[in-house]
Amino acid sequence: MLRACLVSALLLLLDAHAAAAACVLNPEGVYGDVAGLGGCSACDATNSTCLECAEFFTLTSSGDCKLNKCVEAPDGIEGDVTTLGGCKTCAADNETCLECWDFFGLTSDGTCVMCDPDRYTDDFVCANCTGDDPNFCTDCSGNIEGDNAYGYFASEDGRCTVCPAEDCMACQNLNGTCTQCKQGMGLMPDGSCRACSDGSDCIFCDGDVDTCTECYSGYFPEPKTGKCKKCPQDCERCSSADTCEVCSGWGHTLDTKTGQCVKVKLSLQRWYWHSEREGPLREQPLNGLGISAGLCTEGCTNCPTSPDLCQTCDSGYTNTSDGGCARCSDPHCSMCEAGVDACTVCDDPDSKYGVDLVTGKCVECRLEHCANCQDDASVCRWCNDGYWNDQAAGLCTVCKGSCARCSTNMEGEEECDWCLEGFEFDDEDSAGRKCIPVAS
């Protein structure tokens, strides 16, 4: 009898302690526990109130941990514990979302829904949409802040539409006003894009085709003439003929006081060295152990056996008979194997420059509507949007019918890639490449 009484008394004490201990730690943040206060990561001294909650929980005024309805997704991945994937910024109470990541739209009830990817083409998708209507796009994808790259914008009807101005790379949403032209072009006051007069070295000439505002690497816009002038020797980027910002070539550093590029003292350099005993090329300070070592000459990428015997030259340089590297004479040339004055490949695969096989210089593509002629200025590799490369005729030929972009198939014939706005591929067409008006 006495033993039974003692057990009963002990159970009563345990029940009283459990009632007082209203806070139960749950460091994992898994909601739901014996006290009904899941998510508490720190209790007070009496274990009656929660002081700090785990991730995905918010501490209330009553000392409880409440599961958040909104959880921020740092990388914008859809799906989380609250099924509110895509939220970039939650409200202070973590009840609703204030801002969604790209490719998500914010709804009126403060949740994020993914924009419908099926409404847009493969290359131009919707970056932001109206949350209550995932089909209505408010911003097309692009890499230019505030605008839409690749010549598309979100129109008033919520579609990704081609910028109206020819050669326009970015334009404003709704009205389609051009904000940036393609390289080698200038944005004029009337919103059109015109070719810069200093086309060989000028990237942009906004406002005036005769006044360059941005030049290619190794050149700078001269304010008085509006032309692109060459940077000082060994300088890759400069603001004037006397002030360099970034030096070119290995073994040079920028003197910030004078704005000039100077050779680094050998004691501060790392040396390329090679030993047959050691195997592959390594990089280590000169150690005086009889291993051949030295600083590679200017323009050299790899000199494994001797600093004066270059194995591989940098882009824009060519190997010389004495083992050195000489800079190609044309600033747009990336490969001049036959000599500094004979370019074989022009530097920018996205530019409209190609090699003149007679002079060995980089010149603008000779074929009208050609987008790339890197190896030969007279032979187009691919054409501008709306044209296809007719190799048999040696021309860029306009796409037929209602095709917005076309290309060359295996037989060398025209093949439509996608249709103009308001048109779609005909399902009854066996080839699936005929554009017909969208059914109303």
pLDDT of residue 148: 45
What distance in Å separates the CA atoms of residue 11 and residue 36, rounded to the nearest whole number?
21
With bands split at pLDDT 50, 70 and 90, how would you rate the model's confidence at 220?
very high
| Averaged pLDDT, 337-366 | 77
114 plus 28 within the same structural domain: no
Q: Are residues 118 and 196 in the same domain?
A: yes
Most confident of 80-84, 165-169, 181-185, 193-197: 193-197
Range of the domain at 181: 87-230
Q: CA neighbours within 13 Å on the CB side: how many for 210?
A: 2
93 and 225 in a single domain? The answer is yes
Residue 362, domain member (yes or no):
yes
Q: Residue 250 has which token pair?
A: 């290995």
pLDDT band for position 430 (cuts 50, 70, 90):
low
141 occurs within a structural domain: yes
Tell the burial category of 24 from Cβ atoms under 10 Å away from its Cβ (0-12, 13-18, 19+): middle
Q: Is residue 295 domain-shared with residue 423, that is, in the same domain?
A: no
Output the CA torsion 360→362→368→370 (10° steps).
110
As a whole number, mean pLDDT of residues 266-293 equals: 37
Domain assignment present for residue 380? The answer is: yes
Whether residue 143 is predicted with pLDDT greater than 50 in this model: the reply is no
Q: Please report whether residue 208 resides in a domain.
A: yes
Residue ranges with strand state E in 321-366: 325-327, 333-335, 345-346, 353-355, 362-364
* Length reported for the chain: 440
Q: What residue type is 159 in one-letter code?
A: R
Instruction: Name the β-bridge partners of 153.
Output: 161
Whether residues 212 and 92 fall in one domain = yes
Phi-psi category of residue 155: left, alpha or beta, with phi > 0 → left and psi -120 to 50 → alpha: beta
Q: Can you name the residues that pair with 112 across neighbouring β-strands? A: 106
Q: Locate tokens 């603008």: which residue?
A: 364
Average pLDDT on 36-56 reads 77
Tell me the CA distances in angstroms from 171 to 81, 165, 177, 190, 236, one per residue in order. Answer: 38, 9, 5, 13, 31
Does 97 share its domain with 216?
Answer: yes
Instruction: Give the integer Cα–Cα distance in Å for 87 and 71.
Output: 7
- pLDDT(402) > 80: no
How many domains, in total, are found in the chain? 5
Distance CA 273, CA 281 (A): 7
| Residue with more model confidence, 340 or 186 | 186
Q: Measured between alpha carbons, how far is 317 from 65 in angstroms, rounded to an integer?
A: 66
380 in the same domain as 394 = no
Predicted local distance difference test score (pLDDT) of residue 166: 84
pLDDT band for 295, please (50, 70, 90 cuts): low
- In this structure, the answer to whether residues 376 and 399 fall within a common structural domain is no
211 vs 282, higher pLDDT: 211
Residue 256 lies in a domain: no
DSSP class of residue 120? S
| 271 and 397 part of one domain | no
Record the tokens describing residue 350, joined without a space. 């996205």
185 and 135 belong to one structural domain: yes
pLDDT exceeding 70 applies to what percent of the chain?
72
- Same domain, residue pair 106 and 184: yes
Alpha carbon 190 to chain centroid distance? 29
Q: Which residue has the tokens 């579609």?
A: 159
Report if residue 164 sits inside a domain.
yes
Do 29 and 41 contact (CB within 8 A), yes or no?
Answer: yes
5-40 confidence digits (pLDDT tens): 433 433 343 343 334 446 777 655 444 443 444 678
Distance of CA 269 to the CA centre of its chain: 33
Question: Residue 270 in contact with residue 302, Cβ under 8 Å?
Answer: no
Residue 151 lies in a domain: yes
Whether residues 269 and 345 share a domain: the answer is no
Residue 319 falls inside a structural domain: no
pLDDT of residue 273 exceeding 60, the answer is no
User: In the predicted model, what is the mean pLDDT of residues 379-387?
Assistant: 79
CB contact at 8 A, 87 and 70: yes
Contact 409, 433 (CB under 8 A): no
